[in-house]
Structure formats: structure tokens, C-alpha cells
């Protein structure tokens, strides 16, 4: 008998594209995340979104809020909520360091991307970030447009 071939494509990484536009990234770290089995399958299929998500520290634990994971369609058991709070896995010392950095005015924890490491575990890249002002965002757009124009000029010559 011939084996069934899977036609589903797995996603490399899920990006939070708005984060780099909305925030100035000061520092990054990689954390684990606590998920149910069906949630991992959904993330592997790319049915997750980090837009509008953020991390908070409650009772010396780091929690990821507003991460959208669409329920896995082939799971017949109870489905977890799509935007439930998910615990991030960090050592107490790391949490303490993050807490001291965030205690500064205007700093926050923002997830940049979700990816699977070489062992097949889902990891979240977190950033300690500071919100950009409107004029900073305009400068970012200008720099990006200038870079595109320079690339076009290089291609022509």
C-alpha cells in the first residue's frame, strides 16, 4: 500500500510586522510558550497571529496576551479560546531582569515573532521596546523610501 502524502505546508515563522514600525526595539530575548497540542498544530499550519499582542508580568510570571491562534479543525476535544492568555517560560532571574528594565517609563514587552527551533519547540522572540512618536514613524517611512530609491538606482546602472 502506498502511504498517504500530506499536502499541508508548514510555516517557518509568524511575524509581528507592526511591532518594528510602532516601537523602537531596545533588547530582545527568546522564550518558550505553554500551549495545548491542538494549538501547536494550528501554529505549524500558520493559523496564528501576533498583531496586537503584548506581554505582561503578573505574580512573577510572564503572560502573552491577545495572541490569536485559530482552533485546529481536526481536534474533537474541547477547543481552547483563540485569544486566551498564554504563559511564557522564563527563569526567575530573567523575569527579574526584565521587570527592572520595564520599570523605566514607557517600556513594554512586545512579541516580534513565533518560530519553531531545531528541536521542534515553539519559541517566541520578545522585545523590550519603547513606543515611537509620530515623527519617529515618519522618519522610519522616509528612510525606507530612500533605501528603495537607492536600490532602484543601483539596479538601473
Q: What is the CATH number of the domain that holds 128?
A: 2.40.280.10
Range of the domain at 51: 13-132
Which whole number is the average pLDDT over 125-149? 89
Structural domain count, the chain: 1
- Asked whether the predicted pLDDT for residue 123 surpasses 80, the reply is yes
> Comparing C-alpha atoms, which of 19, 27, 88 is closest to residue 53?
19
- With respect to residue 8, please indicate whether it lies within any of the assigned structural domains: no
6 within some domain: no
Spell out the long-range contacts of 137-143 with Cβ–Cβ below 8 A and sequence spacing 24 or more: 137/21, 137/22, 140/21
**Does 117 reside within a domain?**
yes
C-alpha span between 80 and 67 (Å, rounded): 12
Residue 157 lies in a domain: no
Does 80 score more than 60 pLDDT?
Answer: yes
pTM over 0.85? The answer is no
> What pLDDT is attached to residue 44?
87
Lowest mean pLDDT among 80-89, 108-117, 144-153: 80-89
pLDDT band at 81 (very low <50, low <70, confident <90, very high): confident
Q: What is the mean pLDDT of the chain?
A: 85
Amino acid at each position: 500500500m502506498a502511504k498517504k502524502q500530506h499536502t499541508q505546508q508548514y510555516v517557518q515563522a509568524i511575524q509581528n510586522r507592526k511591532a518594528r514600525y510602532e516601537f523602537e526595539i531596545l533588547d530582545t530575548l527568546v522564550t518558550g510558550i505553554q500551549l495545548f497540542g491542538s494549538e501547536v498544530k494550528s501554529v505549524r499550519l500558520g493559523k496564528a497571529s501576533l498583531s496586537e499582542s503584548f506581554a505582561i508580568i503578573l505574580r512573577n510570571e510572564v503572560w502573552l496576551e491577545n495572541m490569536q491562534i485559530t482552533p485546529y479543525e481536526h481536534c474533537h476535544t474541547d477547543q481552547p479560546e483563540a485569544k486566551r492568555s498564554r504563559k511564557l517560560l522564563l527563569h526567575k532571574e530573567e523575569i527579574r531582569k526584565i521587570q527592572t528594565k520595564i520599570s523605566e517609563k514607557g517600556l513594554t514587552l512586545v512579541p516580534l515573532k513565533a518560530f519553531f527551533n531545531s528541536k521542534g519547540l515553539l519559541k517566541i522572540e520578545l522585545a523590550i521596546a519603547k513606543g515611537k512618536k509620530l515623527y519617529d514613524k515618519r522618519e522610519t517611512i522616509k528612510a525606507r523610501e530612500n533605501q528603495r530609491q537607492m536600490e532602484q538606482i543601483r539596479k538601473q546602472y
